[in-house]
A and B are shown apart, each in its own frame.
Chain A
Amino acid sequence: MTFDWRFAWEILPELLRALVVTLQATGLGMALALALGLVWAVLRRSRRRLVALPATGLVEFVRSTPLLVQIYFLFYVAPSLGLSASPLVSGVFALGLHYSAYTAEVYRAGIEGVPKGQWEAAIALNLGRWRTWRAIVLPQAIPPVIPALGNYLVAMFKDTPMLAAITVLELLQTAKLIGAETFRYLEPLTLVGAIFLAVSLLAVRLVRRLETLSERPA
């Protein structure tokens, strides 16, 4: 069997439609990861150990267990908690939760990079905790770590095929279905690989550009 270019051309539109689902899952998952990760990073800095320790434990646990198992866990457990979530919603939630453990570490590095004097100045100006975080620390902590966050966006994009395990019709699942219908796996799977390669090379290039932008002094 050799690679059939005509067949590949025929199935390309269907795969590109599936790419939209993949990109949606990535976008939503990343939004969740950015928000949750910030929450973990701030909680870990809490002076109350009862707050900081569970946050640290959660990040450590989520980061060292497989995303695929977390996807299954959320997908199967959600209904028993009375939440009826579609596969896509549970999948996005799992992606967001998993990557929030990574973004939390990135934020932490950014927060630790803010000079101590900034905190002291905030105290001297009698700013509350909320205002110190929102107006002083985070605006200085986040911009330098944006490229690192971008790298995790690309990594998450490459992990979305795992959603095929819970029947989300993203790229890989679509390719599998085409393969099952036509008994041709070579073309759909090769195309999916090529699409992933093209999009992630493009994304990496954009992240590099972010890097040069963020290195430039404001």
Chain B
Amino acid sequence: MELPAPADLLPPLLGGVWVTVRLTVGGAALAAVAALAGGLGRVADNAAVRAAATAYVEVFRGTSALVQLFWFYFALPLLGVELGAMTAGILVLGLNTGSYGAEVVRGAIRAVPRGQYEAAAALSFSRRQTMWRVVLPQAALAMVPPLGNLLIELLKNTALVSMITLHDLTFRAQLLRSETLRTVEIFGLVLVLYFLLAQALALGTRGLERRLALGRDYGGLR
């Protein structure tokens, strides 16, 4: 069955959507870990931990995502570390987004009022208990909207992997363009597909925000 134009271009593009989704999910999982570790590291008591976290955040925020991708894919093998395109993609997307996320985590932790730490100390909570049971649950709500925006930035950045030959949505669009030359239709369709993916992420973020805000009418974060 032949679909009417431009829908006939969809089937070859959908395989690319799947690669894009996998990159987004993998990158987001790594970014979440990196953001939490980086953010906690930036407020740690230990000076060496703080310095390491700061170096991570500054290097990954200060150099361009595409340059990082090329470095991990083309330069790192020369130092003896060979990475597949998918691994390099997820690694760079995750570490890059995580460095921005670390600043979000740090900001949200610092926004928790001092009284909360004092109350935890009064109840003789350990540092770990204070962080995980008192501070982070309150900071989480403040983190959701900016982290949701970063998630959409991550989705948009997945397009970069097409430049290291990974067959994501953007790469398929290029292939299809060279076969059919229907440039406007193809790239128009691809933009709409990315837009729909981004809207789905935004919807999910708003839902999560509503859930976390349930029953909260205090905390000084909103």
Contact = CB atoms under 8 A, between A and B. Distances in A.
A80 B188 CA distance: 14
Interface in A75-103: 76-77, 80
A193 B194 CA distance: 28
B199 interface: yes
Report the interface size class on chain B: 35 or more
Given A65-B156, A65-B194, A196 B67 contact: yes
B168 to A, nearest CB: 10
A133 B57 CA distance: 40
A158 B194 contact: no
Contact of A68 (B78, B159, B184, B202): B159
A189 B74 contact: yes
A76 B66 contact: no
Interface stretch (A112-120, A134-142, A161-169): A161-169
A7 to B, nearest CB: 12
Nearest to A183: B78
A185 B159 CA distance: 22
Given A67-B156, A69-B159, A80 B184 contact: yes
Interface stretch (B3-11, B29-37, B170-178, B211-219): B170-178
A190 B194 contact: no
Contact of A73 (B74, B191, B202): B191
Contacts of B160: 68, 162
**Dominant secondary structure of chain A at its interface with chain B:** helix
B101 to A, nearest CB: 15
Interface string A47-75: 00000000000000100111111101100
Nearest to A190: B75
Given A64-B152, A193-B71, A69 B198 contact: no
A93 to B, nearest CB: 15
B65 interface: yes
B66 A162 contact: yes
Contacts of B71: 189-190, 193
B31 to A, nearest CB: 17
Contacts of A192: 67
A158 B99 CA distance: 14
Contact of A66 (B68, B70, B157, B199): B157
B51 interface: no
Nearest to B62: A197
Contacts of B199: 64
B180 interface: no
A165 B191 contact: no
Contacts, number: 112
B199 to A, nearest CB: 7
A72 B187 contact: yes
A189 B71 CA distance: 6
Interface in B164-196: 170, 173-174, 177, 183-184, 187-188, 190-191, 194-195
Contacts of A159: 64, 66
Contacts of B198: 64-65
A4 to B, nearest CB: 11
A201 interface: yes
B130 interface: no
Contact of B156 (A66, A175, A193): A66
A189 B75 contact: yes
A80 B182 CA distance: 11
Closest 7 CB pairs of A and B: A64-B198, A66-B159, A197-B62, A158-B64, A161-B66, A66-B156, A73-B187
Interface of A: 1, 61, 64-70, 72-73, 76-77, 80, 158-162, 164-165, 171-172, 175-176, 179, 184-186, 189-190, 192-193, 196-197, 200-201, 204
23 contacts: A61-B195, A64-B156, A64-B195, A64-B198, A66-B156, A69-B159, A69-B173, A72-B170, A72-B174, A73-B191, A76-B183, A77-B184, A164-B163, A189-B74, A190-B75, A193-B63, A193-B68, A196-B62, A196-B63, A196-B67, A197-B58, A197-B62, A197-B63
